[in-house]
Structure 1
Amino acid sequence: MTGQLENDQLENEYDVVVAGGGAAGLNGALMLARSRRTVVVIDAGAPRNAPADGVHGLLARDGMPPAELLERGREEVRSYGGRVVSGEITEAARAADGFTIGLADGRTVRARRLLVTTGLTDELPDIDGLRERWGHDVVHCPYCHGWEVRDRAIGVLGTGPMSMHQVQLFRQLSDDVVFFTHEGPEPTAEESERLAARGVRVVTGKVTAVETGTGGITGLRLADGTVVAREVVAVGTRMVARAGFLDDLGLPAIEHPAGVGRYIPADATGRTEVPGVWAAGNVTELTAQVGAAAAAGAMAGAQINADLVEEEIRAAVAARASVTPGV
């Protein structure tokens, strides 16, 4: 126990600070630690998938509880000398040789590079009883939860530009699917034809409450008092990157082109437009599942290591030239 506590103490300076300890952050830290980089993961301890019973779509780990997956990841990072520290990052400022990172409890740490993997917040529609069932029989992703709700009575809420896509994906999993227009526009003529062809009933009007019983959801109540029996509710959330501390670095979250929320833009390697800052996972790819987030973290970790290697080569060449005339 003592060794682990010492391993998780926050030092003054690291090659890389990883903000966020989910799949992306831990896998990025793993790549860096295995490359003999000093790295610390600073994790606020609020993973997006905490309400879920299991992680899905992850080869050889399908169904594993999210907390168990993260604990295994933390132990792997520690086994290579990486640190994992509890804390919430509230500010990040440019320093002469990298960044100064500030935590909510007043601690600070310096880093040559910053990898942001803080994930996102799901903003749910303001419907009574909806959030209380989130992650159980209120779901959002057919690939994360679809098998578990197959063949049940599913209601899909119209909440945004992806709703038509979402309802057809859930229709693949059950013959009993109802689409609730809620506060969104009614389906176009073409959309209505596609829904009807697949046997999806459309219910217009605003949904005001989720009705529940001893076994879970029993229906959705409309503004006119009508209750439509359902067992599962699928809802597209507005997804907002959790990275307000990047504002002072000139890297605020912006509206996603698909209109599904706000994200931190990054290229395919995770590099952002701010030198020295990388991003991976849901903070930049709002719809990424755990496997994709982990892969993006690994990519970003490798790219950060390569970037540091180049910096060290330049420094070594300059140092050699200063003592070896003509080199």
Structure 2
Amino acid sequence: MRLTEERVIPFLAGRGGDDDLDDLIADAVRQAKVRFRANAWGLGVLKASGSGDFDSGLYIWGRPFFVTADDPATVAETVVRYCNSTLDEVDDLARSQIDLLDPALSNHVEPDMAGTLPADRHLAKGFRWKLDLLREATSAVRAGRPTIRNGDGDEISAADALTGNIQFVLIEFLAALLPGWIERGRVWPTELAEQATTNGYPPLSDNTALFGSFPAEFPSLDWVPNWTIPSNYAIGGYAASSNIQPLRNWLSQNVEALAEVGDQWNDRPYVRKALRKFDEALALAELTGSAFVEAAEIYYPGMGTVN
């Protein structure tokens, strides 16, 4: 949230120069290449093992990068190591994760490089164009211009572009710098809490904090926060860094009740795995002093957008 408040929100609000986030964009590009290489190792293990006991829903399309550790603290520490890695350091880190599964497996695995990654300049453009668009929308609102042109050249409401997209664009960008976990189905914490009989409500609040200074600066606009995920491409419940440990405690105390809810397929083991992923994500937030937020469609594995 310090990065949000000190760097990203001021940029979106039109302060400073147009190049003020260039260092963060460059870091997002580096991490995209690290992520691509790490995932290639995970896909290589999947290919080498057939399917067997290799949990692709956890190791490839669940946790960020490629991590096979057992306990949440080690998972979080490994994610941070990937976040800070150069591309040349990824292979050794990925091999160490293969060794945790089976030391004999490393000799039979090669990274699956079937896909391709865009050139750095295209990656950079992908990370920043929405930020630039909202920065332009802010400028238009200040100047009293009702519309801006979107990436397709269509005129859109500047005010609606801001109020309807700022949270998603913010979290999508931050996730390129500190990744989240992937899960499918109606299994996010506030959704499960609504259905289960639990010991109190989870220490999550609405996500007003993600609007930053905008509501105070533009009080005439309609800033509507969410306390849970209301739809696709939306941001849900929020836990400040001070609530991360209480939220982990709440999940631990209520895991049985939450797992009994099941998901839309009435699959309770699936929900247990989702709860494991939540705790790992919270362990990363705790390690890095970050907040936690529920979100939908930040990642889209079918379209190549992974963590």
TM-score scaled by length of structure 2: 0.29
Larger Rg: 1
- The structure with more helix, counted as a fraction of residues: 2
